[in-house]
Amino acid sequence: MEKKESPSGSDAADSSAGSHVEWCKQLIAATLSSQISRTVQPDVLNRDTKVSRRLSTWKSDDEDDEGLYCHEEYDLNFPANALNRPTLGFGALAKFSHNQVPLLPGETVQITVEDIMYICPFSGLLTGTLTITDYKLYFTSLIKDSSFILDVNLGAISKLETIREAKKENQQEENKAKGIELVCKDIRSIRFPFKAEESEPEMVEVLTKHAFPLSSGLPLFAFKYKDQFPVDGWKVYDPTAEYNRQGLPNESWSISRMNLHYELCDTYPSILVLPKNMTEEDIKQVASFRAKRRLPVLSWIHPESQATIVRCSQPLVGPQDRRCKEDERFLQTIMDANAQSHKLTIFDARPKGEALSTKAKEGGHENKSFYPNTELIFLDIPTIHVIRESFRKIIAVIYPIIDDAHWLSAIDQTHWLDYIRLLLSGAVKIADKLESGKTSVVVHCSGGWDRTVQLTSLSMLMLDSYYRTLRGFQVLLEKEWISFGHKFATRVGHGSESHDNDERAPLFVQFIDCVWQMTRQFPTAFEFNELFLVTILDHLYSCLFGTFLCNSERERVDQEVQSKTVSLWSYINSQPNEFTNPFYVDYENHVLYPLLSSRHLELWTSYYARWNPCMRPQAPVHQTLKDLLFLRAELQRRVDELNVQMPSSYPSSSSEHPTPHACPTGTPLHSAF
């Protein structure tokens, strides 16, 4: 639990008093807002705060006192009028507690607090019941005849602060807590003031314990979640099958199990694709010359030119410009494996100045004098610390109040879209080097698990239409992000109370934002819809599924994640229509080059600003898409029936009029150049 830290001396008093004054102002404003809101029609407030409950038949458990059950659980972590979310619960029934709190299989109530106040930034001061389980915070309040529900999974909480009364002069005893503020990873900030005579210490203790279970010596909720789905999401990604799909192994590349016990590199997966004509001893020498032993390995191979995307970490050249003959020969082998080009392009994701500065820490970049026929390009993508600060500014702009008069300038000053553009621009350069230049590329940053994976996965998404399908995108995430050791636990801070850890950064959010930008520019090229992307980000934080837990494949094996938790893909693939784009056309073998100018990039408000009722669409977008999917299926069924009824002497309509999934002969794509 985080308490607001106070500066020393007189500044401390000023800061403490200022915080208390600000808290009081908000409480007064909320109270006034509450008085005003009582004159508003209930259905108006309902439109902004109440989530439609998609509950099927429910029943009591043999009329006993164990509560009620329903066949589906409803998720209130997404606005009602933006996208109606599909339900959880395919196996065991979702249980209800005595006070009608929906519980997932394995979820238990920890504490219930009656008559507590919540400061809603949009509806004013509300009084209701707060229930804390080992998975979520659930607040309910009655507004006349309508229910207000706030549902926050505890994994989304980044920081818990207690707000205390300003200390008066000569006051000896410790000030009582006046309320708590929950700062969430999904942009929300939630405040509960306490009544004057109460401090709610037990509630704060329970909330802290279960919001940050690892800091309290408890397991993450994913290890308690016991739901069952008709599809096993852990079977989505088979590395050997994926490399076989790409045409591997071949005469130049082999599928190696040299890292089977994670001894070559403990942050790499057990199965790697390596050059055939490099000995194991040479490969070990290369690993020792790369940061964290993350040696160059193949990620993707072009089906025609055999040009490859190879990923790794920075070379450990140091201030003396050390050399490694095995590393130099390794990169030459990568170049030679591609008969259509006698060059190799090395994309260093960092600014050149950053790459040079790492030499003092034994890092650095490749010296072209030692690597003949190579081209070194710096992509100028900033560090995780810059991205974290930019994201903080985005939050300040959009939550809870949006200044319409200065909206564009405020967004511009965050530089968030500038960094989105840099990532997409780098990925376009990589993709074009393979597609047009038929040249193999090596991509790295410092550690090879942050900017590197953003670039490789985005370029592969542009090059390979398989990754633009619902299942293919899951394979892409499992392969490039999860198995190759993006540090999800560290970057997200799963279950940890150390919110100020400077290793945290929204890099995966930034990547998904880039994907959304592409789906907006190419609305028919992706089989998945926006809800799919939002659901992934919600469960990045939730700790409900095991998919994004831990920092590496080795850690997941040690913690038995696959056998003890449920995969997010089990949930997704058990109801694929919920996440399918009805306008999808399979542009097979087409490369996507998104436009990169500022006028073609925009803030993803339907994700970042979704908690603000004023930013929600008036129509339920997701339901409209589902209706279109149903209509398309009906029309296709009718076409099939007519084809059967037509005389065999006539050519079938399907041969003259291809279905929406037929591969187009021309390219519908535009170039970024």
Distance CA 571, CA 535 (A): 10
Residue 167 neighbours by CB distance under 10 Å: 17
User: Do residues 591 and 307 touch, judged by C-beta distance below 8 A?
Assistant: no
Candidate list 184, 445, 543, 550, residue with the active-site label? 445
CA distances to 14, 57, 477, 482, 541 from 548, in Å: 42, 33, 10, 7, 8
Task: Show the DSSP H helices in 442-567 as ranges.
Answer: 451-463, 470-476, 488, 507-521, 530-542, 553-558, 561-564
* Long-range Cβ contacts of 270-276 (<8 Å, 24+ apart): 270/553, 271/239, 271/240, 271/243, 272/297, 272/298, 273/243, 273/248, 273/249, 273/297, 273/298, 274/298, 275/330, 275/333, 275/334, 275/337, 276/249, 276/251, 276/252
Asked if 119 and 31 touch (Cβ cutoff 8 Å), the reply is no
- What is each CA distance from 15 to 8, 165, 191, 537, in whole angstroms? 10, 12, 19, 35
Q: DSSP assignment, residue 491?
A: I
Is position 184 annotated as part of the catalytic site?
Answer: no
- Check: CB of residue 494 under 8 Å from CB of residue 549: yes
Q: What is the amino acid identity at position 317?
A: V
For 393-524, strand residue ranges (E) read 440-444
Structure tokens given for 661: 């999934």
Do 326 and 282 meet the contact criterion of CB atoms below 8 Å apart?
yes
CA atoms of 454 and 69, how far apart (whole Å): 43
Q: Which residues are catalytic?
A: 445
